Structure 1
Amino acid sequence: MNINKTSSRIIRNFTHLLFSNVLILILPFIYYPYLIKTIGTENYGSVIYTQSIYLLLSIIIQFGFSISATKEVSLNRNNKYRLSTIFFSIALIKLVLFLIITIISLFVLFLISINTSIDTKLHLSCLIYLIGDLFFVNWFFQGIEKMFFVSLGTLIYKLSLLACVFIFIGKSNDYILYTLIFSLCYIIGNFSLFILSIIKFKLYTFTFQKSLFLNLITDSWQFFLSRLSSVFVERFNILLLGYSNEKQYVAFYDLAIKLVGIAQLPFNLFNQAFYPNATREKNTKQVYNIIKLLSLLAIFGIILTFISAPYIISLYVGESMIQSASIINILIIGILINVPSHFVGNCLLAPFGLSKEFKNSVVYSTLLYTPIVIALYLANQLTVYTLSIAYIFYLIIILIYRVYIWKMYLKKNENQYLNL
């Protein structure tokens, strides 16, 4: 394959991914100060706390297709019939999962509301968000390496949300309305991409194939467990903070996560843009070089964040949220850990058929992390700071496990990969 052509495609997809993800992270920061001022830190913390529950359910509906389906689409990109069948098969699987989750969620909400006071409207407005997951097809565009369309859908979603916040949110009890708007804009953005993908790429054919269904579920299972475990830790932290502390600490932690997410963004995007190429080429030497380069950039970014975080927060949202700066200084270290961890996982383990080990790296780390955090809670030592430190420990365990598995794989196949 022509190296210049491959590099050009990776850079082009990276650029589109960068644009769409910058919109995802940056545009909310435009209305964030207004939102905090209008609905208040406590109400915003309640929103984040409740959304965390349904974002976990969202992972179930998406079922690891962001990796496994991307791989299938990339390998079958020139087979229109196969692409269409994969597309609608995944849509059908997600529909079944959505119906099951919705019925169970409504039943649980009904039972809880009988005996306890619960903000039912807030929960329902968050539950609606899951409809958008039915139409989430970024995996398709990533697989065919047409990330421009993802940028387009993200633009529709985020600009709609930005406009609606300033138009409709004006008082403290509008926090439920904000959550409803958030969910509806997500649905509209994803539905637009869903319809566009069908029309633009002529995905009109669907034949039910039991073997394909089973293969899609089997291949996605490992990635689903990995993703669920990873997101579980992130949301579990928020749920614990919201349960054991005032909701304002959830807001502090959420702001820290968002700012660290911006710093992590370029590294994640390059990983996503490079993944289809890694799946096809399996060029391990290229992956190693990328890890080295991005690790150096990560160190520079961490140092810059240590220096600038307090000033950024003061200028951005004011002194009332300054506690987020200390949290950021802990969580930002995770970038240096995630760079090698993500590339070893997504661009080495997954392409070389080590999906089970990829999943286990997160699952085992989660099983180790959860009792540690629960012990902190039972010992009354659970604070936003101890939780952040525990999270860094969790990331380190994932990295160590993935590197160990990869080295064992190389040792086992040393004759086949002498160029490594």
Structure 2
Amino acid sequence: MNIYKCFQRYKYKIFNNRILLTNFSYLAILQIFIMLSPLITYPYLIRVVGLELNGVVVFAQSISTYLSLIINFGFNIYGVRQVALYKEDQVELNRIISTIYTNKFIIWFFLLLGWLLLISKLQFFSQYYWAYFYSFFITFNELLFPVWLFQGLERMKYITIINVLVRSLFIILIFFVIKEKIDYYYVPLLNAIGALIAGLLSFWIVFVKLGFKYIIPSYSAMIFYVKEGFPLFISSVSIQIYTNINKLLVGGFLGMEDVSIYDFCEKIVSLVRMPVSIIYQTIFPKVSREKELVFVNKMMIIVFFINIILCSIIILLTPTIMNFVLGNVLRSGIIVILIMLISTIIAGINIFLGGCRLVAWGYSNTYSKIVIFNSFFFVGLIFCIYILDFISLYTIVILNLLTELFALYLYYTQNRKIGLLMSSK
């Protein structure tokens, strides 16, 4: 009888959370595919175009990541929250979709003009003009693909299906198009074409399959969305300063070969970051609506132990993977990966203290202030190692570790002050 009751209880939990489980499954498939696809193409690209030119491509695409942040302007977080709140109101959803898309198109257009002027005038960019030119159009992914809409509607299957199809095409074309060193600039071109195809497919899903309509938004609505998204935009930029600017630092101070090595290490560590990303994207709409601290705490503990297990596996497999991808085992790369893994475990906790608490409970401004303060801390550390001439692959990743620890302290302090650590139930 007890076994029967236990079975019924778990059956009820699974049924009650079936949307979460479905979305988790789709995101898991996508993240696994995203995780494995670079390991398929990376060895080939390293051998054909070399570490230096591959570093140029990685460097250019890293810049496009920051351009995408500007286009995003916090809408990917604010949009999810709005869509999750009004998911049953078709008219309001039409307004949300139209306003976000219009704002993004305006930002994208002015960024394009500025970027073309920059890469034409500065020699640092003009010597690899086409790599930087094509890399800009990878921003089609941020401009056209409405992750915020599918996430808010809790229909992750669209994100998965489109991305898997487009990325599969990209992988196949890499082997057919890239034949010698001079072909390196085709890598960002193929990425840009893939982003455009994914965007057009998502347009078809949004405005044909799902039946949403574009409504010319009012000026006041557009300004309101910009104001609401601005604190989240500042937060996103600030987070990127101490999480993804490292490739730019490595490229600017150490060289493009080191960019390739750093990028490889980051891709290995992404194997651990995957579960956190999937779980966060899956539960954020639910947490924003229901605001259950018990649920958030349970998920945070689960993620922590998943990270510990995955880090242990990665440590054991790193030499084998490194030998397969790079053709040899680099001691420097192994040390960098170890430091990154420690940072990743701490970052997993920070996501649940920040996004799944402060943002979900409506403390976006508090969240933004913490992230901005954290970024200043990181920039201060960079200034110190620059003045002391200590810049290396090791010191750059150690700065990330120190910054994540500092962020953990700030998040914990604020959550404790507000009362978002433990449920009062």
TM-score bracket, normalised by the shorter chain, equals over 0.9
Among 152, 155, 166, which residue is 1:157 paired with?
Answer: 166
Equivalence for 1:40: 50
Equivalence for 1:125: 134
- CA displacement, residues 284-312 of structure 1 (integer Å, 9 cap, x when unaligned): 01111221222122222222222221222
1:53 equivalent in alignment to 2:63: yes
Letter of the structure 2 residue corresponding to residue 177 of structure 1: Y
Letter of the structure 2 residue corresponding to residue 361 of structure 1: I
The residue correspondences of 1:68-83 to structure 2 (distance < 5 A) are 68-83=78-93
**Cα contact 2:94–2:212 (8 A) shared by 1:** yes
Say if 1:4 and 1:375 are closer, same or farther in 2 by CA, change over 3 A.
Answer: same
1:401 equivalent in alignment to 2:407: no
**Cα contact 2:54–2:260 (8 A) shared by 1:** yes
**Cα contact 2:350–2:411 (8 A) shared by 1:** yes
- CA displacement, residues 18-77 of structure 1 (integer Å, 9 cap, x when unaligned): 112222221121111011111111110111112222211111001122211011011111
**Cα contact 1:310–1:322 (8 A) shared by 2:** no
The residue correspondences of 1:1-400 to structure 2 (distance < 5 A) are 3-113=13-123, 118-319=127-328, 323-400=332-409
Q: What is the alpha-carbon distance in structure 2 between the residues aligned to residue 325 and residue 195 of structure 1?
A: 44
- CA displacement, residues 67-90 of structure 1 (integer Å, 9 cap, x when unaligned): 110110111111111111111111
**Cα contact 1:91–1:134 (8 A) shared by 2:** yes
Q: What is the alpha-carbon distance in structure 2 between the residues aligned to residue 327 and residue 57 of structure 1?
A: 27
Q: What is the alpha-carbon distance in structure 2 between the residues aligned to residue 212 and residue 122 of structure 1?
A: 37
TM-score for both structures, normalised by structure 1: 0.93
1:248 Cα shift?
Answer: 1.0
Equivalence for 2:424: 418
Say if 1:81 and 1:223 are closer, same or farther in 2 by CA, change over 3 A.
Answer: same
1:357 Cα shift?
Answer: 1.4
**Cα contact 2:322–2:329 (8 A) shared by 1:** no
Q: What is the alpha-carbon distance in structure 1 between the residues aligned to residue 348 and residue 247 of structure 2?
A: 24
Q: What is the alpha-carbon distance in structure 1 between the residues aligned to residue 64 and residue 241 of structure 2?
A: 11
- Note the aligned Cα RMSD (angstroms): 2.0
Say if 1:77 and 1:106 are closer, same or farther in 2 by CA, change over 3 A.
Answer: same
In structure 2, stretches of 5+ residues that fail to align are 1-11
Q: What is the alpha-carbon distance in structure 1 between the residues aligned to residue 281 and residue 178 of structure 2?
A: 35
Q: What is the alpha-carbon distance in structure 2 between the residues aligned to residue 251 and residue 367 of structure 1?
A: 27
**Cα contact 2:125–2:132 (8 A) shared by 1:** no
Q: What is the alpha-carbon distance in structure 2 between the residues aligned to residue 203 and residue 117 of structure 1?
A: 42
Q: What is the alpha-carbon distance in structure 2 between the residues aligned to residue 227 and residue 349 of structure 1?
A: 14
Equivalence for 2:8: none
Q: Identity of aligned pairs, percent?
A: 22
In structure 1, stretches of 5+ residues that fail to align are none
Q: What is the alpha-carbon distance in structure 1 between the residues aligned to residue 209 and residue 125 of structure 2?
A: 49
1:207 Cα shift?
Answer: 4.3
- CA displacement, residues 306-354 of structure 1 (integer Å, 9 cap, x when unaligned): 2221222123432065632221111001222122210121211112111
- CA displacement, residues 335-389 of structure 1 (integer Å, 9 cap, x when unaligned): 2212221012121111211101112222111111112113212322100011111
Q: What is the alpha-carbon distance in structure 2 between the residues aligned to residue 272 and residue 400 of structure 1?
A: 24
Q: What is the alpha-carbon distance in structure 1 between the residues aligned to residue 15 and residue 353 of structure 2?
A: 24
Q: What is the alpha-carbon distance in structure 2 between the residues aligned to residue 75 and residue 370 of structure 1?
A: 37
TM-score for both structures, normalised by structure 2: 0.92
Aligned residues: 414
- CA displacement, residues 114-147 of structure 1 (integer Å, 9 cap, x when unaligned): x986321121111222233220201101100010
SS at match of 2:323: helix
SS at match of 1:333: helix
SS at match of 1:128: helix
1:226 Cα shift?
Answer: 1.2
**Cα contact 1:242–1:249 (8 A) shared by 2:** yes
Say if 1:321 and 1:203 are closer, same or farther in 2 by CA, change over 3 A.
Answer: farther
1:258 Cα shift?
Answer: 0.8
